[in-house]
Amino acid sequence: MQAQTILSSALLSLLAAGALGAATTAHAADKMAASATQKCYGVNAAMKNDCQSPGHSCAGQDSKARDPQAFVAVPAGLCAKLDGGSLQPHAAMSHDAMMKKS
């Protein structure tokens, strides 16, 4: 009977150690994924920004698509490949400046 208790305890210890190892690995993967992203300004869809921008205080509240002041998190290196993407917020363009650009 005592041998069965010892065997059960050993098995439970191994299961607990395995679960702890899996949780640590998952946390490390999440941390690495978060560091492999960067802020990309000017490429958001309406209501799909990731953080505060001028005019609102929360994610998902930017009603303007491709807002030069709003960002979304993208994988590192992708922003430069996106049309209109910038790693820095753009200054808001005046209507006259936009007309000259066209």
- Sorted by where each begins, the domain ranges of the chain are 1-35, 37-102
The residues, any chain, with a CB within 8 Å of residue 54's CB and separated by 6 or more, are 69, 92
- pLDDT (mean) for 56-82: 87
41, containing H or E segment: strand 37-41
Res. 63 pLDDT band, cuts 50 70 90: confident
Residue among 81, 72, 2, 4 at smallest CA distance from 38: 72
Q: Is the pLDDT of residue 64 over 70?
A: yes
Query: What is the pTM assigned to this prediction?
Result: 0.52
Residue 74's identity, in one-letter code, is V
